[in-house]
Amino acid sequence: MVSVGMTKMLRLLGNLIRGGSSPAKAVVGSRNYADFASEASFDVKKCDLHRLEEGPATTVVLTREDGLKYYRTMQLIRRMELKADQLYKQKIIRGFCHLYDGQEACCVGIEVAIKPTDHLITAYRSHGYTYTRGVSAKEILAELTGRRGGCAKGRGGSMHMYANNFYGGNGIVGAQVPLGAGIALACKYFEKDEICVTLYGDGAANQGQIFETYNMAMLWKLPCIFICENNRYGMGTSVERAAASTDYYKRGDYIPGLRVDGMDLLCVREATKFAADYCRSGKGPILMELQTYRYHGHSMSDPGVSYRTREEIQEVRSKSDPITMLKERMLNNNLSSIEELKEIDANVRHEVEEAAQFATTDPEPALDELAHNIYCNEAAFDVRGTNPWIKYKSAS
Amino acid sequence: MAALKGLFCGGKNAFGVLSRRDFHRSTLAAVQLTYRDALTHAMDEEIERDETVFLLGEEVAQYDGAYKVSRGLWKKWGDKRVIDTPISEMGFAGIAVGAAMAGLRPICEFMTFNFALQAIDQVINSAAKTHYMSAGAIPVPVVFRGPNGSSAGVAAQHSQCFAAWYSHCPGLKVISPWSAEDAKGLLKSAIRDDNPVVFLENELMYGVPFEVSEEIQSKDFVIPIGKAKIEKEGTNVTLVAHSKSVGHCLDAAVALAKEGIDCEVINMRTIRPLDIETIEASVMKTNHLLTVEGGWPQFGVGAEICARIMEGPAFNYLDAPAVRVTGADIPMPYAKILEDNCIPQVKDVIFSVKKVLHV
């Protein structure tokens, strides 16, 4: 897939790295942005459809500007999650930590297809969404390390991060789905043309409350995009062992659905645009199944190899990695260069390092704020501590 | 009685019926208002006052409410403000919580709190904890309401009191009204409160009329959450109760007065936050404490009150151990004689007061 010009460039770069001969430098330096294409077209996998006459476009356009933005965002999430892995192994992050590396195309593809005024809710594998919904890597890592600069001031940790129009981060499997439909009900009630994206995993897809929610969302035509992120495993249980029907995109029954290649950001983007238009037109809910994969185990306490093979993980990494896929598309279509992408990589690394630095040096939350925000808009009151003589003040 | 029947079966607008009733009228502008109508008025007024308030639950719209508490509301306000749900407690409770997170103020009716067990995860993990977990970013202004505790002859699965269950959890407010005044003022406060509120009604109280002043009839009448009310002042013993048991205590007080025992009766109104200060002040005056509740004894509301009294200044004023009158520690049986012996009666309060006072 690598062109002749690319091979030449790589050789030159190789020389540059090895010894830095000025001709190579000159060649690199003379490449300017006017040489890049402004956009390119790509074919994406056709989505399987359920109760839909037609689906999302299969030929999509990617602009150079968007491509760079998507690349940076996915790369940052990847690096942030790997940094979290590192910090967890150093015992600086505690408790639960469910990492998202491998699934970046989902959260980024969804976010770029909806508006900031739309709403989104997901379950506990939520760091990627927290980032795409507007929280900085710094605040995310500081929340994971339990510091006062964390986005939830250290109260929530990995599973309870929130932002404007982002309702977490939810720890009870499946409970976020009725919540999402409730947010969609509010969208319809307020008549502001907003929608709610409600995510759940292949494991959660068997929760009864999800079917209750499908029913009410359809009855009341709620503007809700239900999205099942199918990463093939609910904790250690593969989809074949958990579900009598693994066609998750059909399990909304009367709700139209589509099955999407969740490793291809452009496919996710097109499908989400399609789904968002559907919801906004007042037709009611729609269901998307994103076929994706997580490289890490279920959480940091799961090596992730007792229920699947290392070969499988390696195969997905080498053939379907979402960042590699975007990178190759951009390089092969002259939307960017290796140097430019490497510069982005370095920039991302730097940002994540700084974020980690903050997250490991910021002080822990103050003890006298322990009881704050139990209630909203409440006059201060005393809260009992671990013995009758310890009292905390609760402010709102 | 006939007028009450008219209210139940008439399908008439609740507001019209009142003016045609021939109840005894006091000389002031007081009026008879049932506990049920007080709730209906509260919801109607708050739906009118705030466009983000709406009601959802099973049978609340076209059926006028399983217990007719929402009678007339759907006809007046329509499908957007009064929503019939399918039989999906976990689903619609979650929808109510999500709607609250996104800026609405839902009233989520459970046909009884026995069925709310299906949805209790949404009440506890989604509603109660979210404001704290998000360090104040996400308020959840939802009211969960419905009948709680025993009814008459509905047996074990339909008779449980959940006051202790919900009051156990920080992040919730739990209210248990006794009178029509309580029902109206506290439901309005609950709806206006920015926090998740569990509002425990009582099916046997729905039809009970109370005399209410003009002030209580007003659209602005609210009662502060977290403050108990002394229904009757007294000097010999403090009786603390919530919901229907308050009536039992007042009846017991009348009977005991004939024997020279002067009871102070405290209506808790709110279970969480618990107004221990009012109870302590009373115990420091009367030196004797009896709690009365319909729920089971173990880890109940009375158990919490007694523990707090032990830990606080009022302990030194007790002349006898504090005692609890509760439901019997048995799943509720059906046969009348069995059920009657599982629910605390006035005679239990009288008997226990005399025991506590050693008379």
- B203 tagged catalytic: no
Q: What is the mean pLDDT of residues B142-152?
A: 97
Q: Work out the average pLDDT over A28-40.
A: 74
Q: Rounded CA gap, B131 and B148, in Å?
A: 26
Look at strands A381-384 and B173-175 and give their pairing.
Answer: unpaired
> How many whole angstroms separate alpha carbon A96 and alpha carbon A103?
18
pLDDT band at B210 (very low <50, low <70, confident <90, very high): very high
A381 contacts on B by Cβ (under 8 Å): 273
| The three-state (H, E, C) secondary structure of B233-263, written as one string | CCCCEEEEECCHHHHHHHHHHHHHHCCCCCE
A133: which chain B residues are within 8 Å (Cβ-Cβ)?
Answer: none
| Residue B218 to residue B184: CA distance in whole angstroms | 10
Question: What element of type H or E holds A163?
Answer: none
Task: Give pLDDT tens digits for A240-254.
Answer: 999 999 999 999 999
Are A80 and A57 spatial neighbours (Cβ–Cβ below 8 Å)?
A: no
Closest to B136 (Cα-Cα) out of A359, A182, A151, A120: A151
The residue among A389, A128, A396 whose CA lies nearest residue A262 is A128
B61 touches chain A (CB under 8 A): no
* pLDDT score at A13: 56
Q: Which of B46, B58, B89, B280 is catalytic?
A: B89
Residues 6+ apart with CB under 8 A from B193: B141, B143, B173, B225
pLDDT at A15 (0 to 100): 55
**Per-residue pLDDT reduced to its tens digit, A109-131:** 999 999 999 999 999 999 999 99
Q: Rounded to a whole number, what is the largest CA-CA distance in chain B?
A: 59
pLDDT score for A1: 46
**Mean pLDDT rounded to a whole number for chain A:** 94
Q: Residue B10: its pLDDT value, please?
A: 41
- The residues near B358 (Cβ < 8 Å, ≥ 6 apart) are B320
pLDDT of residue A177: 98
The Cα of A150 is separated from the nearest Cα of chain B by a number of Å equal to 10
Q: How confident is the model at residue A20 (pLDDT cuts 50, 70, 90)?
A: very low
In the predicted model, is pLDDT for residue B185 greater than 70?
A: yes
Of the two residues B336 and B9, the one the predictor is more confident about is B336
Query: What is the crossing angle of helices B346-356 and B244-257, to 10°?
Result: 60
Model pLDDT for residues A309-340, shown as the tens digit of each residue: 999 999 999 999 999 999 999 999 999 999 99
Please provide residue B201's backbone torsions phi and psi, each rounded to the nearest 5 degrees: -90, -175
Quote the pLDDT of residue A34. Answer: 72
- Give the mean pLDDT of chain B: 93
Counting residues of chain B whose pLDDT is more than 70, the rounded percentage is 92
As given in the structure block, the two tokens for residue A133 are 């919904």
**pLDDT confidence of residue B25:** 45
- In chain A, % of residues over pLDDT 90: 91
How far lies B107's CA from each of A7, B40, B191, B235, B334, in Å? 66, 12, 7, 40, 32
State whether B92 and A377 contact (CB < 8 Å).
no
CB contact under 8 A, B98 and A186: yes
Question: pLDDT by residue (tens digit) across A45-65?
Answer: 999 999 999 999 999 999 999
Q: With an 8 Å Cβ cutoff, is A388 touching chain B?
A: yes
Nearest CA in chain A to B105: A186
Task: Say what the pLDDT of residue B345 is.
Answer: 98
Distance from CA of A271 to the nearest CA of B (A): 25
CB pairs under 8 A between A and B: 146
Residue that the structure tokens 């006939």 belong to: B2
d(CA B198, CA B228): 17
* A119 DSSP β-pair partners: A196
Let me know: does A275 contact A258? Beta carbons within 8 Å: yes
* Least trusted range by pLDDT, from A10-24, A166-180, A214-228, A245-259: A10-24
Over residues A148-176, mean pLDDT = 97
Q: What is the mean pLDDT of residues B318-339?
A: 98
Q: What pLDDT score does A32 carry?
A: 63
Q: Does A209 touch chain B (CB under 8 A)?
A: yes
User: What is this model's ipTM?
Assistant: 0.91
Residue A115, CB-side half-sphere exposure with 13 Å CA sphere: 9
Dihedral angle, C-alpha A362, A364, A369, A370, nearest 10 °: 150
Helices (H), chain A: 4-18, 22-30, 64-89, 104-111, 127-132, 137-144, 176-190, 208-219, 239-242, 265-280, 310-320, 322-332, 338-361
Per-residue pLDDT, averaged over B288-316, amounts to 98
* Burial (0-12, 13-18, 19+ Cβ within 10 Å), A245: exposed
Take residue B97 and report the two structure tokens written for it: 């919580």
- Output the DSSP codes for A252-273: TTTS-EEEEETT-HHHHHHHHH
- Best residue in B56, B58, B95 for a mutation probing chain A (most A CBs within 10 Å): B95
List, for residues A63-110, the tens digit of each pLDDT value.
Answer: 999 999 999 999 999 999 999 999 999 999 999 999 999 999 999 999
Question: How far is the C-alpha of B258 from the C-alpha of B221, rounded, in Å?
Answer: 36
- Chain A residues with CB under 8 Å of B54 CB are 189
pLDDT of B24 higher than 90: no
Q: Let me know if B53 is exposed, middle or buried by CB neighbors in 10 A (0-12, 13-18, 19+).
A: buried
pLDDT band for position B56 (cuts 50, 70, 90): very high
Q: Do B94 and A162 touch (CB under 8 A)?
A: no
| Amino acid type, A227 | I
Q: Return d(Cα B270, Cα B228) in angstroms, integer.
A: 7
Q: Cβ contact (<8 Å) for B80 and A160? A: no
CB < 8 Å to B132, chain A: 155, 373-374
Confidence band (pLDDT; 50, 70, 90) for A18?
A: low
Q: Give the pLDDT confidence score for residue A7 in this predicted structure.
A: 58
Is there a contact between A21 and A15 (Cβ–Cβ < 8 Å)? Answer: yes
Residue A375: name the closest of B138, B296, B176, B52 by CA.
B138
Residue B6 pLDDT exceeds 90: no
B45 is catalytic: no
Q: Which residue has the tokens 């506290």?
A: B186
Q: How many CB atoms lie within 10 A of CB B109?
A: 29
